Structure 1
C-alpha cells in the first residue's frame, strides 16, 4: 500500500509542501539542512528531544529528497487563535520551553555549518538560537508548550535574540489597533510576564526592547526579500498589508521604547 500523505497547515516559506506520513513529517530539504540536522541530533543526544517533546528527531532523507522528521503530536496556534493559546499560562509555558532549549543547546558548536539567515552581529553570542519561535512553530498539549518545530531559520545567535523574537510575536509587540485578539491592551503586561517566566537577567532586560525592534526589522526584511524573489506566499503576505504593518510597527517601537523598558524593569 502506498503511504498516505496528509498536508500539514501553517508556515509561509514551505506552505503546502509539508506533509505527515504515519509518525513522520516530510519537508523540503534546504541548503541549510546539514546544519539543522546536526542541531536536531545534538538535541536528541542531550535529551531535549525525549519521546515526543522538545524538538523533532531527524530520521533521514526519503526517496523524494525530502528530510524526514519524527511527528510530534499536539496543536500549533494558527488563526483564528483558540482561547487557550492566548492565556497567561500558555505564554509562561512558551518562555519555559525556550529556556529549556537554550540550556540544551549550550555547548553545541555550529559556527562552521551552513545556516540559512545570519542574525545581526550584535546578537550573535555563541549560542545557536531557533530564531523563529512563532505561534505556529510551537507544539502544545493541554494548553502547555512542549516542543519547538521548524528550525529552518536556526543559526548562531543568542538567548536574548530568541527571547526578543518570541516576545515580539507572543506579547505581541505592535500597535494595539493591529492586535485583533484578546491580547489587545495587554502588551506591557505580557511583555513583563514573559521576561519574568523566562527569568531574564537585568542586563538582557536593558537590551530586550532594542533587540525586539531590530528583530522586527530583520524578520520583515526576510519577508520582503522573499516577496521580491517571487515566492508566492511571501509575495501575498507582503502585498496584502504586511508592508504597511511593518512601517506602523517600526514607528510604534520608536515612540513606545520608554514605556516598554519601564514595563520590564519596574
Structure 2
C-alpha cells in the first residue's frame, strides 16, 4: 500500500522520483545512496526501532539517516529488484515465496528482543486489533520487498508498523503473496495457475509457523482482510484520489465482497493444508 523504493541494481546517481505504491505518490526521491520521503508521524520511534533491529542482527531494512526540518526523512537506498503490478513470474516462484517467509521470521525474531516504545502513537489503521508484543510491519506487499537473484533480501516502508502478534503479520503478508484473493481478483495482477493452498503452506513453512498459529492463520487472514477493507473505505471517504480511482477500476465494493466470501469458503481447506 505504501512505498519508498522502486528501482533496480546499478541505479543512476542523479536524483529521481521513485514510483510505485499508493501513498506518497511523487513525493519519494532518491539522491544517490539516500532515499528522501515524507516522514511518518512515528518517525522518531520508528528510526530508533530500525537502529535497534540492526543491533540485534536484522540488517535487511533501510538505515535511518536523519529527519529534515521540512518534515521529511532520509534513509539508505537498498539496491535490488522490486516487483510492480502486473507482477512478474520471478516474484511468484516457490523459492521467492519461501524466502519472504524466512525474511519475515528474521524480522520478528530480532524485534522480539526490542522493547516496544509504548509512548509512540503507532498507526492503528492496519494494526492487529488484539495488539501484541512485537512491532509488526503490517504491509509486506510485493512492492515492499527487495529481491536479489530471486530471493527476498530486505523489507522497506515501515510506515504502518504497529504492535501486534506475529501471526497477524504473517496473515497480512499471505494476503499479498499467495495471493489470498478470489481467482477473478487475482488475475488482475498475478500470473495464472498459482495454487493458493500450496502457496500458503510454503509461506508458513518458510516462516516456521508453529502449529497453534497455523490453526489460527485462516481466520486471522479473514480478520486482516476486513481491516484492509476498512482502511480502503476510510481513504475513499476522505476523498483520496488514488484509492478512489483504484476502487473504481477494481470493481468497487463487490470485489471486496467476493474476496471475503472466497476466503470463508476456503477456510477449512487452508486449515487442513496448514496442519497436514
TM (norm. structure 1) is: 0.92
Residue of structure 2 equivalent to 1:239: 248
Instruction: Name the residue aligned to 1:23.
Output: 33
Change (3 A) 1:89 1:185: closer
The root-mean-square deviation of aligned C-alpha atoms, in Å, is 1.6
TM-score by length of 2: 0.89
Q: Is the 8 A contact 1:5 1:20 kept in 2?
A: yes
Cα distance in structure 2, aligned partners of 1:142 and 1:62:
34
Q: Is this contact kept in 2: 1:36–1:115, CA < 8 A?
A: no
Contact 1:13–1:234 (8 Å) recurs in 2: no
2:56 touches 2:113 (CA, 8 Å); kept in 1?
A: no
Q: Which secondary structure state, in structure 2, belongs to the residue aligned with residue 147 of structure 1?
A: strand
Instruction: Say if 1:134 and 1:166, in contact at 8 Å, map to a contact too.
Output: yes
- Structure 1 residues 194, 177: CA separation in 2 closer, same or farther (over 3 Å shift)? same
Greater CA deviation, 16-25 or 176-185? 176-185
What corresponds to 2:91 in structure 1?
85
Query: Are the equivalent residues in 2 in contact too, given 1:74–1:140 (CA < 8 A)?
Result: yes
* SS of match in other structure, 1:20: strand
The secondary structure found in structure 2 opposite 1:121 is: coil
The aligned length equals 259
Q: 1: distance between equivalents of 2:205 and 2:80?
A: 26
1:117/1:5 CA distance change after superposition, 3 Å: farther
How far apart, in 2, do the equivalents of 1:47 and 1:207 lie? 29
| Contact 2:87-2:191 within 8 A present in 1 as well | no
**Are residues 1:250 and 2:260 paired?**
yes
Corresponding residue for residue 150 of structure 1? 157
SS in 2 for 1:156: strand
| Partner Cα separation in structure 1 for residue 106 and residue 228 of structure 2 | 24
In the alignment, structure 1 segments of 5+ residues that lack a partner are: none
Structure 2, unaligned stretches of length 5 or more? 1-12
Q: In the superposition, relative to structure 1, how do residues 11 and 70 fare at CA in structure 2: closer, same or farther (>3 Å)?
A: same
Q: Distance in 1 between matches of 2:192 and 2:37?
A: 32
Mean Cα displacement is larger for which, 62-71 or 204-213?
Answer: 62-71
- 1:12 corresponds to: 22
Task: Tell me how far apart the structure 1 counterparts of residues 36 and 254 of structure 2 sit (CA, whole Å).
Answer: 34
Q: Partner residue of 2:81?
A: 75
Segments ≥4 residues shifted beyond 6 Å: none
Q: Equivalent of 1:212, from 198, 218, 221?
A: 221
Which of 155, 171, 180 aligns to 1:173? It is 180
Displacement, 1:169? 1.0
Asked whether the equivalents of residues 171 and 183 of structure 1 are also in contact (C-alpha less than 8 Å), the reply is: no
Distance 1:18 1:263 in 2: 41
